[in-house]
C-alpha cells in the first residue's frame, strides 16, 4: 500500500486515536495467566496485538473477540499454559516476541518463536542473555536473531539483573519470567522506561516492589482476573500532536490519551520546542493516567533533547524528527542507539527520508542532528516501518510538493485507521495499492 499526501493545509477537530499497543499486548498476556475471566475494552485491533492473541490461543487460552475493541480472556493461571504445537508467528511485533519469550521460558514450555522478515532481522540477545542466566535454554539464528527455539522443561531461578541499557521490553521479559522462577527476580535500569507491566501486574493482584529504577517480584504467586480499559496510545497521538504543532491554523483535541509519566517524553520535548499543548480532564483509569490533549499551532525552535527524555520518547522520535525539520534552528538527539534496532534502523530510515525532502541532517552513532528548513516533495521508502510511514505523512502539511510514501502496509500493525482519522482532521491523504 502507498500513501499519497498533498502538500499544505492544517488539521482541526477532535479524535480518539487507536488503543495503546503496549497496554493491549500486556493485557492479553497477563489475563491469559490469571485465574478467571478478564474483560478488556479499548483493545487495539492492530496486527501486532492480534499476533499476541494468536500466540496465547496456540498455548491453550480461550479468547473471545476482539469485537469493537472488547476482548474476554478466560485465564488458565500460571500453571495452565500448554506448549504450542506450531511455531508462534509474531509478525512484526518485537514486543510480542520479547515478552512472550519470558513467559514461555518461565512456564517451562517448548516453543519456536518466529516473525516476518523485519522481525527476524532484529537481535534478541538482550532477552536471550538474562533468560539464559535464569536457566532457560534458547537457540537462535546467527547474531541472536529469530527464529528462537526455547527448550521445554527448564526450571528458572530468580535473577538480580542490571540492564545494560534502558529497555521496557527487556525489563518486562525478565520480570514475567520471574513469576515462575524459584526465588526473587529483580531488574535495575540505567534510566526509567515505561512501567505498564508493573502497573498491570499490580492490577491483577500480583505483589511487586519498586524502588527507584529497581523492580522486584517473587515467583510462585497468582494473578486474579481483572477489567482492563486500554487508553488511546500516546505514540499514535504524537503524530497528530506534531501535525498540529507544525501546520499554521491547526487546533486538534485528542481524547482519552494515556499519559503515563514514563511515556510523556514526546509531550515534554515538544513543549521544550515551544509547542502549545494543554492537558485537561486528567484522571486514572484502570491504574493508568489518562487525559484529553489539545494542541494548537505554534512556531517551534530547535533544541538539544535532554538525555533523560530519550527513553520516555523512544517510540515517538520519528514524528519528533518531523517537528525538528519544521523548527527554526538545529535539533540534536544523542543517547538513542535503541532506535537502530526497531522495526527498521529508525535513525537511518528517517535521515534518508529527510534528505529526500531536502532537510539537512547528520547521522550520529547514537542519534541525529537535524537542521530545520523548507520541506520539499518526493518518494519516501519506509523500510516497512509503520512509524516512518506515518511520520512522513504528517510532514506533508509543511511540504511544498506532494509526498509519496511506499510500503505502508505495516501501519496496520499499530494504527489500522490512521489514514481515515488523518483525513477526518484535514490531512490530504489517499491510499493506493499501486507501489510504482
Residue 409 buriedness (CB in 10 A; 0-12 / 13-18 / 19+):
middle
C-alpha cell at 243: 501535525
Dihedral pair phi/psi, residue 283, rounded to 5°: -155, 175
* Secondary structure (3-state) at 133: helix
160 tagged catalytic = no
**Lateral strand order in the sheet of 251-258:** 12-15, 251-258, 288-296, 276-285
Contacts of range 419-423, beta carbons closer than 8 Å, 24 or more positions apart? 419/3, 419/393, 421/15, 421/17, 421/240, 422/11, 422/239, 422/240, 422/243, 422/393, 422/394
Q: Which of 315, 385, 407, 419 is catalytic?
A: 315
Within 8 A by CB and 6+ apart from 249, the residues are 10, 12, 297
Dihedral pair phi/psi, residue 290, rounded to 5°: -135, 160
* Bridge partner residues of 75 (DSSP): 36
DSSP state of 232: B
Tell which residue, 304, 358, 363, has the closest CA to residue 326: 358
Give the active site residues: 315
Amino acid at each position: 500500500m502507498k500513501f499519497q499526501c498533498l502538500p499544505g493545509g492544517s488539521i482541526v477537530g477532535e479524535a480518539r486515536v487507536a488503543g495503546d499497543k503496549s497496554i493491549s499486548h500486556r493485557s492479553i498476556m497477563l489475563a491469559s495467566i490469571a485465574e478467571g475471566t478478564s474483560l478488556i475494552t479499548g483493545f487495539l485491533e492492530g496486527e501486532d496485538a492480534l499476533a499476541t492473541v494468536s500466540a496465547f490461543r496456540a498455548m491453550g487460552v480461550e479468547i473471545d473477540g476482539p469485537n469493537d475493541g472488547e476482548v474476554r480472556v478466560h485465564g488458565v493461571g500460571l500453571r495452565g499454559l500448554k506448549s504450542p504445537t506450531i511455531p508462534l508467528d509474531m509478525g512484526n511485533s518485537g514486543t510480542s516476541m520479547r515478552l512472550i519469550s519470558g513467559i514461555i521460558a518461565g512456564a517451562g514450555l517448548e516453543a519456536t518463536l518466529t516473525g516476518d522478515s523485519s522481525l527476524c532481522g532484529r537481535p534478541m540477545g538482550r532477552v536471550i542473555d538474562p533468560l539464559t542466566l535464569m536457566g532457560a535454554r534458547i537457540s537462535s539464528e546467527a547474531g541472536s536473531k529469530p527464529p528462537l527455539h526455547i527448550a521445554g522443561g527448564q526450571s528458572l531461578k530468580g535473577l538480580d539483573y542490571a540492564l545494560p541499557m534502558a529497555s521496557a521490553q527487556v525489563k518486562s521479559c525478565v520480570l514475567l519470567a520471574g513469576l515462575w522462577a524459584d526465588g526473587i527476580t529483580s531488574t535495575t535500569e540505567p534510566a526509567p522506561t515505561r512501567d505498564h507491566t508493573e502497573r498491570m501486574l499490580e492490577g491483577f493482584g500480583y505483589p511487586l516492589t519498586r524502588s527507584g529504577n529497581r523492580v522486584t517480584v517473587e515467583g510462585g504467586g497468582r494473578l486474579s482476573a481483572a477489567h482492563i480499559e486500554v487508553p488511546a496510545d500516546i505514540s499514535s497521538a504524537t503524530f497528530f500532536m506534531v501535525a498540529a504543532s507544525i501546520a499554521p491554523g491547526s487546533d486538534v483535541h485528542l481524547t482519552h490519551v494515556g499519559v503515563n509519566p514514563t511515556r510523556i517524553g514526546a509531550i515534554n520535548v515538544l513543549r521544550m520546542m515551544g509547542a502549545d499543548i494543554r492537558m485537561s480532564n486528567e484522571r486514572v483509569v484502570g491504574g493508568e493516567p489518562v487525559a484529553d490533549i489539545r494542541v494548537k499551532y505554534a512556531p517551534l525552535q530547535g533544541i538539544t533533547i535532554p538525555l533523560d527524555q530519550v527513553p520516555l520518547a523512544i517510540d515517538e522520535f520519528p514524528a519528533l524528527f518531523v517537528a525538528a525539520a519544521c523548527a527554526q534552528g538545529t535539533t540534536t538527539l544523542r543517547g538513542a542507539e535503541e532506535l537502530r534496532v526497531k522495526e527498521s534502523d529508525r535513525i537511518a530510515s528517517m535521515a534518508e527520508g529527510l534528505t529526500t525532502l531536502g532537510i539537512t541532517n547528520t547521522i550520529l552513532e547514537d542519534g541525529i542532528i537535524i537542521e530545520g528548513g523548507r520541506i520539499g516533495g518526493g518518494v519516501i521508502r519506509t523500510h516497512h516501518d509503520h512509524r516512518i510511514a506515518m511520520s512522513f505523512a504528517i510532514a506533508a502539511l509543511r511540504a511544498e510538493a506532494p509526498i509519496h510514501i511506499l510500503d505502508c502496509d505495516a501501519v496496520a500493525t499499530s494504527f489500522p485507521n490512521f489514514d481515515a482519522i488523518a483525513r477526518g482532521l484535514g490531512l490530504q491523504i489517499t491510499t493506493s495499492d499501486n507501489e510504482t
